[in-house]
Homo-oligomer: A and B are copies of this chain.
Amino acid sequence: MTIPAPLSMPPRLLMGPGPITVDPRVLQAMSVQMVGQFDPAMTAAMSEVMALYRTVFATANEQTLLVDGTARAGIEAALVSLITPGDRVLVPILGRFGHLLAEIAGRCGAKVHTVEVAWGEVVPLEMLEEALRTVRPALVAAVQGDTSTTMCQPLAELGTLCHRYDALLYVDATASLGGNPFETDAWAIDAATAGLQKCLGGPPGGAPITLSGDAVARILARRHVEAGIREGDDVDSGVRIGSNYLDLAQIMDYWGPRRLNHHTEATSMLYAARECARLLVAEGMDAVIARHALHGRAMLAGVEGLGLRVFGDRAHKMTNVVAVHIPDGADGDAVRSGLLADFGIEIGTSFGPLHGKVWRIGTMGYNARKDAVLLTLAALEQVLRSAGVAVLGGGGVGAAREVYQEAAL
């Protein structure tokens, strides 16, 4: 076969719903050479990663670690390890990623019950309480920020409510963590997972996870050490977890003091995850969230300044992504292609009922920056004009600038 050339990628400013442009310091960390799986330098790095993500997740949970796969692997690890086949699981659905949780829970053998709202809304707490009362689930699985609609589900009281009905609470914070307040312990969340490729400023492929004591107890009640490495005092308990790769009981044994061999840790992804969290913690989690709020506000003002109409319930919008209705007469995909081909800027469309109806513009991670916001608005203005959409010259950049000026006062 013809040998392709060494990798060369075009420069892109990724302003979609993620993945986003990776902080160059994270890319640098990924090019650090390997050490062995149980090298003292490796196990020390694993311990640092655990400590760093406790700060990111705002938790004291000992079991705070990485699943080796994309955000979806983290979700499935949590669900397959927490759900015993036959369990009732309640899933509030705001958009595509609520459907995903229901789908994965179903594959884990759960009896899935959903409460669903129209895309662009969040689920009221009373609706969740009513469902908890009637369904009596073993687990509630909720998305915090569903990028398909840009809605951010309020969670502050949900953990306590779940516990009142003897349910654990799992939260998929993939797209929201770092960009929106998230308080694992203060909100009594039992399990949460994320991805690196959104507000954490990293590449897709690693999934931070944190587990409360109750979640750990539920998982360890189903601990089965695999043949070939088990020892005399390893006794099986409970119904075996349906996955080996995503079995959190085994993954905790690997990350814990026993360092029991499981998979071979994806070293470069661990390096990336460490650097993502290190940069966030150095900046300060409150400052990181405030930064996302500021640039999100500027982008929202900017798209409105261009005359575009924002989608969804604004009171519950995620900070880090905005959805706008594609204006009548404009070809949504052609505008996106034009932005990419002529300006090197990527924005997204959405899924299901919103596919081809909205664009989604993100301001997250490394790209929650003033120059990224202003460049995107300036380019979008040009592309909209070429597409025949009536735009106010300078309206987008001007409105965003005003937000920045107010913030600087």
Taking beta carbons and an 8 Å cutoff, which residues of A are in contact with B? 1, 3-4, 6-12, 14, 16, 18-22, 24-25, 27-37, 39, 41, 45, 48, 51-52, 54-55, 68-73, 75-76, 80, 95-100, 102-104, 106-107, 148, 195, 197, 203-205, 226-229, 240-246, 261-269, 271-272, 274-275, 278, 281-282, 340, 346, 351-352
Q: Please determine whether B226 and A281 come into contact, CB atoms closer than 8 angstroms.
A: no
The 9 nearest A-B residue pairs measured at CB: A205-B266, A99-B228, A96-B228, A31-B31, A99-B227, A204-B264, A69-B69, A70-B263, A27-B31
Q: Please determine whether A1 and B72 come into contact, CB atoms closer than 8 angstroms.
A: no
Q: Please determine whether B9 and A33 come into contact, CB atoms closer than 8 angstroms.
A: yes
A29-B7, A31-B30 in contact; A69/B68 too (CB < 8 A)? yes
A-B contact pairs, 5 of them (CB 8 A): A1-B51, A1-B55, A12-B33, A12-B39, A14-B36
A45-B7, A102-B227 in contact; A16/B36 too (CB < 8 A)? yes
| Additional pairs, 6, CB under 8 Å, beyond known A27-B30, A28-B31 | A9-B34, A68-B70, A68-B204, A72-B245, A72-B262, A243-B243
In the complex, what's the smallest C-beta–C-beta distance from A296 to chain B, in angstroms? Answer: 20
Q: Kindly state the separation between the CA atoms of A274 and B11 in the bound complex, as whole angstroms.
A: 19
Q: Kindly state the separation between the CA atoms of A54 and B282 in the bound complex, as whole angstroms.
A: 44
A36-B16, A99-B228, A268-B30 in contact; A6/B278 too (CB < 8 A)? yes
In the complex, what's the smallest C-beta–C-beta distance from A24 to chain B, in angstroms? Answer: 8
Contacts of A278 in B (CB 8 A): 3-4, 6
Q: Please determine whether B245 and A76 come into contact, CB atoms closer than 8 angstroms.
A: yes
Q: Please determine whether A352 and B264 come into contact, CB atoms closer than 8 angstroms.
A: no
Q: Please determine whether A266 and B264 come into contact, CB atoms closer than 8 angstroms.
A: no
Contacts of A3 in B (CB 8 A): 278, 281-282
Contacts of A55 in B (CB 8 A): 1
| Nearest B residue to A348, CB-CB | B36
Q: Please determine whether A6 and B34 come into contact, CB atoms closer than 8 angstroms.
A: no
Q: Please determine whether B51 and A34 come into contact, CB atoms closer than 8 angstroms.
A: no
A241-B107, A245-B72, A245-B76 in contact; A267/B204 too (CB < 8 A)? yes
Q: Kindly state the separation between the CA atoms of A123 and B245 in the bound complex, as whole angstroms.
A: 26
Contacts of A275 in B (CB 8 A): 6-7
Q: Kindly state the separation between the CA atoms of A8 and B269 in the bound complex, as whole angstroms.
A: 15
